Amino acid sequence: MLPWLTYTVFGVVAALASFALFFFVLTRGALLVRAARGRMQRDAAHVYPLYSNMRLIRFVDFQPVIAAILLFQYSRLVSIITEGLQSADLKGKQVLITSCAFGNVMPRVVKAAVQAGVQKVLVADLIQNELDHAKGKLTAYAGKVVYQRDNAIAMKQADRSVSANVIFFLLHELPHHLQGEAVSEAVRVLAPGGRLYLAEFHRPHGWLLRLLSWTYFKVFEPFGLALWDTHDPVQQLQAMPGVTCERHTVFFGNFQVIVATKAA
């Protein structure tokens, strides 16, 4: 092999390894350390430092990086949500974003909701730094957005209080016993006829992509594998009275957007 090619390959491998180590330390690695120290009892104990430390949030939250993590399907997934919001009658109603997310999903969701006539968009997150970071993205909609510290598994919102609820890649980060609680809360706050837009990972169709995804989850996101079977959100949602679901999958089934409608 030519020397320049050897150095190039080595550089790429080293860069990818460093990137993977960086994310492991600030995601699952941090949780393993907390568990070893007996610090997993707090409400926010399952939250990665990557999503709670403001310096890390600002360092990582760049659209190209976030798009690459979702295999460049990010925009397509968000579009499924925003197209649904734009086609809904949200005049004078409220939309909830449960848990902040990296990338431009929040500005796009708020823009779509405003175009549909929404009265207010409520952004709820357990971590204050996430809310503060979100404010910087949504300055153009200051008069329409309200921010509130809240827990996805025990929301402060009243029953049937919002016409749409958007959850973007939250469930795979929750321990198994909390995933079902978050889904139940997401439906509880929906008004009759309201819709839940839930974006998440999905079990890929092809064996190679499935193997790669399985390996990724085992290393970085161990709670995510349950979404493939035992904690499939569609199964949980359809078990609730009066809830119907549509599942949209993209990129060979690797990702999904679930649209759950609560009976009017």
Q: What is the CA radius of gyration of the chain?
A: 19
The whole-number average pLDDT for the span 241-252 is 97
How far, in Å, are 166, 229, 253 from residue 64 at the CA level? 22, 30, 22
d(CA 98, CA 173): 14
Of 247, 98, 242, 124, the residue nearest 182 (C-alpha)? 98
Please report, rounded to a whole number, the percentage of residues in the chain having pLDDT higher than 70.
94
1-10, 12-21, 78-87, 224-233: least confidently modelled range: 1-10
Biggest CA–CA distance in the chain, Å, is 67
Burial class (CB in 10 A: 0-12, 13-18, 19+), 12: exposed
Res 8 pLDDT > 90: no
d(CA 202, CA 225): 9
**Mean pLDDT taken over the chain:** 92
User: Which residues neighbour 154 within 8 Å (Cβ) at sequence distance 6 or greater?
Assistant: 181, 185
User: Which residues neighbour 4 within 8 Å (Cβ) at sequence distance 6 or greater?
Assistant: none
Res 228 pLDDT > 90: yes
3-state secondary structure 69-82: HCCCCHHHHHHHHH
Q: Per-residue confidence at 5, pLDDT binned at 50, 70, 90?
A: low
pLDDT in tens, 200-224: 999 999 999 999 999 999 988 889 9
The residue type of 25 is V
Q: What pLDDT is recorded for position 2?
A: 59
Tokens of 153: 């598994």
The whole-number average pLDDT for the span 93-115 is 98
Q: What pLDDT is recorded for position 4?
A: 66
Do the bridges between strand 255-262 and strand 190-201 make them parallel or antiparallel, or are there none, so unpaired?
antiparallel
The whole-number average pLDDT for the span 90-107 is 97
Decide: 191 and 161 in contact? Cβ < 8 Å: yes
The whole-number average pLDDT for the span 27-51 is 78
Q: What pLDDT is recorded for position 12?
A: 67
Q: What pLDDT is recorded for position 99?
A: 97
Q: Which domains does the chain have, with CATH numbers?
A: 62-262 (3.40.50.150)
Q: What pLDDT is recorded for position 205?
A: 94
- For residue 256, give the DSSP letter: E
d(CA 81, CA 4): 45
pLDDT in tens, 152-174: 999 999 999 999 999 999 999 99
Q: Per-residue confidence at 41, pLDDT binned at 50, 70, 90?
A: low
Residue with tokens 């009658």: 89
The residue type of 215 is T
pLDDT in tens, 66-86: 999 999 999 999 999 999 999
Decide: 101 and 75 in contact? Cβ < 8 Å: no
Res 261 pLDDT > 60: yes
Q: In what order do the strands lie in the sheet with 162-168?
A: 145-149, 120-125, 94-98, 162-168, 190-201, 255-262, 243-250
Tokens of 261: 């409608």
Decide: 134 and 161 in contact? Cβ < 8 Å: no
